[in-house]
Structure 1
C-alpha cells in the first residue's frame, strides 16, 4: 500500500469543532492540525481562552442563544465558506439528582445545552456542508443513552434524542452530507468533575464510584480523550465513506450493541 491507508481527513480539509475547549474537543482539534487540516475551534466565550493555539480560527459563541449561534455561523462562513467536516462535542450532564429533585429550570438547562444546542448548530451549519463534494459530521453523544445511569434522566434523554435527531437529518441531507455518532462511556477528562469551564477544581468529586464502574468494563480501564479522537477522525475521513447514521460505541465493551 502507498504509505499506509490514511483514515484521517485529507490534508487541507476545512473542519469546524464545536466544544473545542473540552478534554475531548481539544484533543480532536490538535490531532486534526497534525493531519494538516484547517480547523476552526468554537466554544463558549468563558472557555475560548483554552482553545488549542494550533487552531487556524477561534470563534466564541453562546450555544443557548439562537442569535449567537447564527452569528457564529456567519463568522465561520467568512473564514470557511465551505466545510469538509464538522464535529459537535458540546454538552454537560449537570448534577446527579433523583428525578423528584429536578426543577423545570434545571431540566431545561440540560436539554438546551445538549439536544437543543446541537440541533441549532447543525441547522445553522448544514448550508456550509452542502456542496459538490461529500462532507462529514460527527456528533458526540454518550453511552449513558444506552446504559442509563440513575440521577441523570434529563442528560440521558437529551443524548438519546440527539441520536434520533441526527439520524433524521442524516436521511434528509444524504448523499452529500454524512452524519455519524461517537458514543463514549466515561472518559478521563474534566467533564467527570463537572466539565471544563464549570469547575476549575481537579480534586472535585467524580460523578460516580470509579471502582464500581471499572468492574463493568471488559477492557478494565477508563477511556482517555485519544480513545474518542481516533474513531472521530475515522468518521471524518475517507475510510467511513459508506457510513451514515451509524454509532461507534467507545465504552471498553460496557455496551455491546
Structure 2
C-alpha cells in the first residue's frame, strides 16, 4: 500500500527484528519515513541497515523501564520527535493447559506482551501529547478478544493490551493523539511456525496446522504485508477519526 503520508515522519517500532516488524519498517521506509528500530536482538537489523542516517537501531528489553525510557530519549536525541509508534514487541506462550502452565512462563509472557506495551505507552504518550499529534498502534491479538485452549498466558496478556489500548485512547483524545490496536490471527511468521511445532505428544505439526486452518474462514494465514497495510492505514490521515479501536485481521476467525 502506498499512502504518500509518511515522508519525513519519525516511526518508532518495537519488536522490529520479527517478521511483522521487519516488513512494517521496510514499508514505512519505502514511503520516506525515518525509523527508530528497537529489539533485544539487533544483529539482523544492523546487517540489513548499514550506515543509514535515516535509521536508528537500539537494543532494548521492553520489560525494563530504564531501557524503554532510554529508547524514547535516543529517538528524540536523533530525530527530535516521534510521529508514529508501533508498539509491537511480543513473545508466544508454551502450549499447555492452565494447570500445566508454570508461574515463571506465565509471568514472562505477561512481562513482554503487557508490561512492555504499558511501558512503551508510558514514555511515548508524553512526547506525543507535547507535540499535540501522533498515532500509536498496539499489537494485540485475535485471542485478546476471545479465549483459546492451551495458551492462557498469551490470551491474558493480549486481553490486557486491548484494555490498555482503550484507556490510552481516552487519555490521549484531547491531544490529537490517536491510539488503536490490531488483533491479528495467525500470520506467516516464525512465531506461528514455533506455535505449530509446539505440539502435544502423538500430534504431528502438520495436523496441528490443519486444525488452525480449519478454524479460519479464509483457510489461510495472514501475509505480513496484509498486517503492514493495516498498520499504515491506522497511522495515516485516512484513519483520522478512528481511535480506541481494536481492528480484527484474522481471516474471519472472530466471526465464527
Which TM-score tier does this pair reach, normalised by the shorter chain?
0.7 to 0.9
Q: CA deviation at 1:207?
A: 10
Residue from 31, 34, 39 that aligns with 1:38: 34
Structure 2 partner of 1:100: 99
Give the root-mean-square deviation of aligned CA atoms: 2.3
235-244 vs 100-109, which moves further = 100-109
Give me the whole-angstrom Cα distance separating, in 2, the residues matched to 1:88 and 1:173. 16
**SS in structure 2 of the partner of residue 174 of structure 1:** helix
Give me the whole-angstrom Cα distance separating, in 1, the residues matched to 2:138 and 2:161. 8
Residue from 9, 12, 15 that aligns with 2:11: 15
Give me the whole-angstrom Cα distance separating, in 1, the residues matched to 2:24 and 2:9. 14
Asked if the contact 2:144/2:162 (under 8 Å) is kept, the reply is: no
Asked if the contact 1:193/1:206 (under 8 Å) is kept, the reply is: no
Unaligned 5+ segments in structure 1 are 196-204
Structure 2 partner of 1:73: 72
Asked if the contact 2:5/2:236 (under 8 Å) is kept, the reply is: yes
Asked if the contact 2:2/2:31 (under 8 Å) is kept, the reply is: no
Give me the whole-angstrom Cα distance separating, in 2, the residues matched to 1:210 and 1:170. 36
Asked if the contact 1:187/1:222 (under 8 Å) is kept, the reply is: yes
Q: CA deviation at 1:206?
A: 5.5
Structure 2 partner of 1:25: 21
Give me the whole-angstrom Cα distance separating, in 2, the residues matched to 1:210 and 1:193. 9
Give me the whole-angstrom Cα distance separating, in 1, the residues matched to 2:163 and 2:33. 29
Structure 2 partner of 1:199: none
Give me the whole-angstrom Cα distance separating, in 1, the residues matched to 2:31 and 2:95. 38
Give me the whole-angstrom Cα distance separating, in 2, the residues matched to 1:222 and 1:233. 20
Residue correspondences, number: 243
Q: Residues 124 and 206 (structure 1 numbering): CA distance in 2 closer, same or farther, change over 3 Å?
A: farther
1:187 and 2:176 aligned: no
Give me the whole-angstrom Cα distance separating, in 2, the residues matched to 1:167 and 1:233. 20
Give me the whole-angstrom Cα distance separating, in 2, the residues matched to 1:225 and 1:151. 25
Q: Could you report, residue by residue, the CA deviation over 1:193-234 in whole angstroms, capped at 9, with x for unpaired residues?
A: 348xxxxxxxxx859811122222222211111110000000
Give me the whole-angstrom Cα distance separating, in 2, the residues matched to 1:228 and 1:208. 25
Asked if the contact 2:75/2:82 (under 8 Å) is kept, the reply is: no
Q: How does 1:135-146 map to 2 (within 5 A)?
A: 135-146=134-145
Q: Residues 254 and 73 (structure 1 numbering): CA distance in 2 closer, same or farther, change over 3 Å?
A: same
Structure 2 partner of 1:233: 232
1:164 and 2:163 aligned: yes
1:177 and 2:173 aligned: no
Give me the whole-angstrom Cα distance separating, in 1, the residues matched to 2:226 and 2:112. 24
Q: CA deviation at 1:130?
A: 2.0
Structure 2 partner of 1:200: none
Structure 1 partner of 2:199: none
**SS in structure 2 of the partner of residue 255 of structure 1:** helix
Runs of 4+ in 1 over 6 A off after TM superposition: none
Asked if the contact 1:7/1:238 (under 8 Å) is kept, the reply is: no
Q: Whose helix proportion is higher, 1 or 2?
A: 2
